[in-house]
Structure 1
Amino acid sequence: MFYNYFVLTEYDDFTDEQISKKKLYPDNSNQLMTIADLANYLNCSKQKIYQLTSNRKIPFRKLGNQIMFKKVEIDNWIDEQKIEVFKPMLKAKNF
């Protein structure tokens, strides 16, 4: 499930039923994801997502009592996690 940030902000407290009524298509750049959605998107456990949020290692928002993730920020965060790979230097044979 993905949610639109601008639609959700009209509520003070969110229930699952209220949020489930605001489903959007995956190509919307203002999508918000729940912890379960993000765990599915990243193919990891919900515990891992809770760990990343509690350590503030991943961008998130608290809307009412719910932790939500903006898809575009998650995609940018994934790009920032890139690890540079260096090619090993070739040894010269004549030395």
Structure 2
Amino acid sequence: MDSKNISFNDMPQMMAVMYDKLNELGDKVDRLMPTEKSEEPQWMNVAALIEYLPNHPAEQTVYGWTSARKIPFHKRGKSILFNKTEIDQWLSSGTYRKSQEEMEQEAMSFINSKRYGRR
């Protein structure tokens, strides 16, 4: 069909062609757009958190962090849950690492407990 000489009788067929081309264009644009990330939070229990963290801390360590409020957590009844996004932010902030002062205090407590424990 010559695009310069479109008659009124050709309009339904031309509309169908335009509709198909528009759908093709829409599909191409959809493929170019990044997929939306799920807004639903991903929850982890203590065991899943231990596996997720790079240094795989002991369960007692995680409970210590929660009682000292050093790690972001949520309590639902008796369960302690961790939001993956909050944990990722916590990890990237570097607050999960002990400071030099904390390590020195811990070492001194250990030494003192051994010293006085032998008597």
Match status 1:35 vs 2:35: no
State the AA in 2 paired with 1:33: M
2: CA distance, partners of 1:37 / 1:48: 14
| Paired-residue identity, % | 42
Bigger CA radius of gyration: 2
Higher helix proportion, which one? 2
| SS, match of residue 69 in structure 2 | coil
**Shift of residue 59, structure 1, vs aligned partner:** 0.3
* Structure 1, gaps ≥5 residues long: 1-26, 84-95
Counterparts of 1:1-95 in structure 2, within 5 Å, are 30-42=41-53, 43-81=56-94
1: CA distance, partners of 2:46 / 2:90: 16
**Shift of residue 56, structure 1, vs aligned partner:** 0.2
Higher strand proportion, which one? 1
Give runs of ≥4 in structure 1 deviating > 3 Å.
Answer: none
**Shift of residue 45, structure 1, vs aligned partner:** 1.1
* Structure 2, gaps ≥5 residues long: 1-36, 98-119
Q: How well do the aligned residues superpose, as a CA RMSD in angstroms?
A: 2.1
Q: TM-score, normalised by structure 1?
A: 0.54
